[in-house]
C-alpha cells in the first residue's frame, strides 16, 4: 500500500502533528505546560501523551492487532479519565489522526489511488476508536469497583466503632427491655386510670 509506505517514511512528522492535536484537546494552561515542561517527573502527563501516541502510530502503521494497540490506548485513556472530558472528548483524539494523515500526504494528494488507500486507513482508525471504547468501558468499570470497595471499607470502619458491632461482622439487634429501674414511666399523673387524688 503506497499510502502506508509514505506515512512510514514520514512517521515522525505524522506523530508530531497528531501529538500537537492531542495536546490541543486539553485546556489552555495545561496544553502550554505539556508542551513546555520537558522534565518527566514534573510533567508525567505530557510524557505519557508523547510516548503512547508514538506507540499507537507505530502499531497503526504496522497493522497491529488489539494485543498491541490496547495497552497504549489504556494508558492514554487513564490519563484523560482524570480530566473533565465527556465520553466523546475522551475518545475524540483518536479520530484526529484522519485529518493529520491527509495533511502529511498533502503533496501526494489527488490521485484516485491515494484517496482510496487513505479511506482504507480511515477505516482502520475507526476500528481503533471502537477498541478504545471497549478499553474505556473496562477502565470505568474498574473505577466503579474501586469506589464501591472504598465506600464499603468506610462503612465497615464506622460500624466497628459502633456499640452494636459484635466483632464477627454482624450487628447486635436492638432489644427493648423496658424502662430501667427508677426511670420515669413517661405517663403523666392520671394516665394509669386513677385520678391523682386516688392515692390519698
Domain ranges of the chain: 2-159
- Report which of 84, 69, 71, 101 is spatially closest to residue 27, judged by C-alpha positions: 84
Residue 145 to residues 76, 77, 84, 142, 151, Cα–Cα distance (Å): 20, 18, 20, 5, 10
CA–CA distance, 178 with 156 (Å, rounded to integer): 30
What are the backbone dihedrals phi and psi of residue 165, each rounded to the nearest 5 degrees, phi first?
-85, 125
Burial zone of 52 (CB within 10 Å; 0-12 exposed, 13-18 middle, 19+ buried)? buried
Helices and strands counted in the chain (H then E): 8, 0
Helix (H, G, I), strand (E, B) or coil at 171: strand
pLDDT digits (tens, 9 = 90+) for 23-80: 998 887 888 888 888 787 888 999 999 999 999 999 999 999 999 999 999 999 998 8
Which backbone phi and psi does 73 adopt, to 5 degrees? -60, -45
Determine the Cα–Cα distance for residues 60 and 54; give it in Å rounded to an integer. Answer: 10
Contact assessment for residue 72 and residue 62, using Cβ atoms and an 8 Å cutoff: no
Tens of pLDDT, residue by residue over 86-118, are 888 999 999 999 999 999 998 888 778 888 999
User: What percent helix, strand, coil does the chain show, rounded to 5?
Assistant: 70, 0, 30
Question: What would the grid cell of residue 27 be?
Answer: 485546556
The whole-model pTM stands at 0.70
Number of residues in the chain: 200
Average pLDDT over residues 146-151: 80
Q: Could you count the other beta carbons within 10 Å of the beta carbon of residue 124?
A: 14
CA–CA distance, 3 with 149 (Å, rounded to integer):
49
pLDDT band at 200 (very low <50, low <70, confident <90, very high): very low
Amino acid at each position: 500500500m503506497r499510502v502506508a509506505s509514505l506515512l512510514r517514511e514520514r512517521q515522525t512528522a505524522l506523530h508530531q502533528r497528531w501529538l500537537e492535536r492531542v495536546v490541543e484537546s486539553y485546556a489552555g494552561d495545561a496544553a502550554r505546560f505539556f508542551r513546555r515542561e520537558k522534565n518527566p517527573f514534573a510533567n508525567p502527563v505530557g510524557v505519557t501523551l508523547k510516548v503512547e501516541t508514538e506507540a499507537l502510530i507505530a502499531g497503526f502503521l504496522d497493522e497491529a492487532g488489539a494485543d498491541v494497540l490496547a495497552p497504549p490506548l489504556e494508558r492514554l485513556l487513564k490519563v484523560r479519565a482524570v480530566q473533565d472530558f465527556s465520553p466523546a472528548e475522551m475518545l475524540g483524539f483518536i479520530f484526529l489522526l484522519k485529518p493529520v494523515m491527509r495533511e502529511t500526504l498533502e503533496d501526494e494528494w489527488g490521485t484516485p489511488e491515494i484517496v482510496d488507500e487513505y479511506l482504507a486507513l480511515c477505516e482502520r482508525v475507526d476500528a481503533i476508536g471502537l477498541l478504545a471504547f471497549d478499553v474505556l468501558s473496562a477502565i470505568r468499570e474498574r473505577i466503579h469497583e474501586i469506589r464501591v470497595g472504598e465506600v464499603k471499607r468506610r462503612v465497615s470502619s464506622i460500624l466497628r466503632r459502633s456499640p452494636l458491632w459484635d466483632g464477627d461482622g454482624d450487628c447486635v439487634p436492638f432489644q427493648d427491655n423496658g424502662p430501667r429501674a427508677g426511670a420515669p414511666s413517661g405517663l403523666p399523673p392520671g394516665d394509669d386510670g386513677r385520678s391523682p387524688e386516688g392515692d390519698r
